[in-house]
Amino acid sequence: GAGAPSPMSRQAAIPGVNAVIAVASGKGGVGKSTTAINLALGLRELGLRVGLLDADIYGPSVPKLIGTSARPELDDNRRMVPLAKFGLAVMSIGFLIDPDSPVVWRAPMVVSAITQMLRDVDWGELDVLVVDMPPGTGDAQLTLAQNVPLRGAVIVSTPQDLALIDARRGLAMFTKVEVPVLGIVENMSYFQCPHCGTRSDIFGHGGARDEAERLGVPFLGEIPLHMDIRATSDAGTPVMVSDPQGVHAMAYRAIAVQL
Ligand code: ADP
C-alpha cells in the first residue's frame, strides 16, 4: 500500500484556498467530470470564487469539457497559472500530458503529480477548489484523500448495482481517512428521451438514494441520462453554461447549494 504521508505534507492547507471539495467515483465513466464541472459552475453562480482541478490522470476530460487544452503560463515565481474559463480557475493534468499516450503511472507518481497541481499552481484566492479525482479507490486515491486538506467529498454513482458497490468502496475510503462525505449524486439516474421527454429507468432508478439512506449520508440529487448533457459537454460548453435556465442546470444548481 501507499506509505504514510509525511506529517508536513499531510493536510497542509493550500495558501489562498479556503476549501477543497473532491468529486469522486468508484469507477470511471459514471459522469464524475461532467458532475464536477457543472457543480463548480453552480458554486460560482452562488457568488463564490471557484477553481476546478482535473486530477483524473487516467482520462482527464476537463480540456474537452471547457473546449481548450492550452498550456498554462508560468507566473513570476514559475508557478503555473490556471486557465480562466466560464469564471472558473481551471487546471488539468490534461494541459500537461499528451492526450494520446496512455498514462501508466504508479500510485506515487499520480500522487506527486496531483500534489504539484494543488501546490505549484497559482490558484489565487479561492473560496472553493473542486477536485475531479481519478476514479477508483486505489493507493493513489487513498493517499490523495490523506494528503489534501479536504473539506469533504461528493460521490458520483450510476444507479447500477455494480457502480454502487464501487461507490460504497469510495465512501469507505473517505471514512477511513476521516474526510466527510458530503453526499451521493446519482448520475444517469434515468433516461430522458430528447424527442418525446419520456422517462425510462434503464439502469433501475433510485439505487443511489436507497444506498445513501442505508449508509447514512445525504442524497444530493439525481441527474438524468440526457443527450443534451453529453452533447454540451462534448461541445466544450457544459449545460450550466449553454442552457443555464434549463432543467439540467436547475438540477446541478440544487445540488451545488447543498455543498
Ligand atoms: P467520468 O469522469 O466518470 O469518467 P464523464 O463525466 O467523463 O465520466 O462522462 C462520461 C461520458 O458520459 C461523457 O461522454 C459524458 O458527456 C457523458 N455523460 C456524463 N453524464 C451524463 C448524463 N447525465 N447524460 C448524458 N451523458 C452523460
34 lines ligand 1 (CB under 6 A): yes
Amino acid 3: pLDDT:
45
Distance 119 CA to ligand 1 centre (A): 28
Is it the case that residue 249 has pLDDT exceeding 50? yes
pLDDT mean over 210-219: 88
Amino acid 10: pLDDT:
54
208 lines ligand 1 (CB under 6 A): no
**What does residue 143 show for φ and ψ, rounded to 5 degrees?**
-65, -40
Question: For residues 134 and 110, is the Cβ–Cβ distance under 8 A?
Answer: yes
Amino acid 207: pLDDT:
77
In 195-242, where does DSSP find H-type helix?
Answer: 207-215, 227-234, 239-242
- The complex's ipTM? 0.99
Q: What is the largest CA-CA distance in the chain?
A: 56
* Lowest-pLDDT choice from 7-21, 37-51, 132-146, 152-166: 7-21
Question: For residues 126 and 40, is the Cβ–Cβ distance under 8 A?
Answer: no
Give the chain's mean pLDDT: 88
pLDDT mean over 28-34: 94
Grid cell in block for residue 94: 490534461
CA–CA gap between residue 19 and residue 39 (Å, rounded)? 14
Is it the case that residue 57 has pLDDT exceeding 50? yes
pLDDT tens-digit map of 64-75? 999 988 889 999
* Confidence label for 186 from pLDDT (cuts 50, 70 and 90): very high
* Residue length of the chain: 259
32 lines ligand 1 (CB under 6 A): yes
Residue to substitute in 39, 185, 230, 247 for testing ligand 1 pocket (most ligand atoms within 8 angstroms of CB): 230
pLDDT tens-digit map of 118-138? 889 999 999 999 999 999 888
CA–CA gap between residue 162 and residue 227 (Å, rounded)? 23
Q: How is domain 17-256 classified at the architecture level of CATH?
A: 3-Layer(aba) Sandwich (3.40)
pLDDT over 70 percentage in the chain = 93
Taking the domains of the chain in order of start, what are their residue ranges? 17-256
